[in-house]
Amino acid sequence: MTLTARIEGVGFWAPGVPTWQDAIALVRQGVLPDSAPVRPSPQLLPPNERRRAPDSVAVALDVALAACTAAGRDPKTLPSVFASMHGDLAITDYMCATLAEQPTAISPIRFHNSVHNAAAGYWTIGAGAMEPATSISAFDATFAQGLVEACVQLATGSDAVLLVAYDSASTGPLAKVQPSSGLLGGALVLSRRDGGPRVGLALRDGEPAEPAGALLARAPQNAMRPMLPLFEALAANAPRCTLKAGPGRVLDVEILHG
């Protein structure tokens, strides 16, 4: 069975590419903005929370709000799917090291940021969202499985769903077994309404090609790089792409651009 959806809005952030319009310019013309922030600054949060939020939360909320704004959707009205391979491995490394060396010194703020659904929690609180929020991790198939989950929610009754994918850098011993560098995030508002590119999804056996393209060069070692073939295809008006969907499985994405 093929799942389908319309893309109403897109959000994107990578080093040197802080918006989706910048991503389109990079893919189509090979140009980067003259200046770009070194870290996202999610406007959904109050200034103090914005400064304290870990990088993983900052990039997730930044792209999520950008996608909702592009779609003209009120963030609090959308169910959401947050997809991250690792959550925040820098905080996980801190937690493990502190528990091993001085467990009573655990920071309460870092502790509550250590859970995998931290970004979803910040989002629902900041947006005032009462709709369901799902957090997904499926190793290097995380983005594909998040996309499937969002489209299944559409197929089973939701009018629109927000999909947010993100990962940050790993540190310490964890970086040796689960390497990730840089900061990368992408978000899509998917709906059943007319308008915007139409995507059709189909799972099959196979192995995808390694991600390539201008966007990959901005975060070549980030754990969420498997999402980039879709964003590259959307930016380039390409008709299809293939995503890693699990061991020996791929997700074919057909794109009909409006």
What is the CB neighbour count within 10 angstroms for residue 214?
A: 20
- Percent of the chain at pLDDT above 70? 100
- Domain annotation covers residue 149: yes
Q: Which domain holds residue 78?
A: 7-195
- Domain annotation covers residue 123: yes
Predicted confidence (pLDDT) per residue in 204-249, tens digit: 999 998 888 999 999 999 999 999 999 999 999 999 999 999 999 9
Element (H, E) at 59: helix 55-71
- Domain annotation covers residue 249: no
- Domain annotation covers residue 28: yes
- Domain annotation covers residue 250: no
Predicted confidence (pLDDT) per residue in 126-174, tens digit: 999 999 999 999 999 999 999 999 999 999 999 999 999 999 999 888 8
- Domain annotation covers residue 257: no
As a whole number, the mean pLDDT across the chain is 93
- Domain annotation covers residue 241: no
Predicted confidence (pLDDT) per residue in 42-93, tens digit: 888 888 888 788 899 999 999 999 999 999 999 999 999 999 999 988 888 8
3 state SS of 82? strand
Residue 104 structure tokens:
């009573």
| Whole-number pLDDT of residue 107 | 84
**Count of domains for the chain:** 1
Q: What is the pTM of this model?
A: 0.95
- Give the domain CATH number at 164: 3.40.47.10
The contacts of residue 93 (CB under 8 Å, 6+ apart) are: 170, 171, 172, 173, 174, 175
- Domain annotation covers residue 96: yes
| Whole-number pLDDT of residue 116 | 86
- Percent of the chain at pLDDT above 90? 74
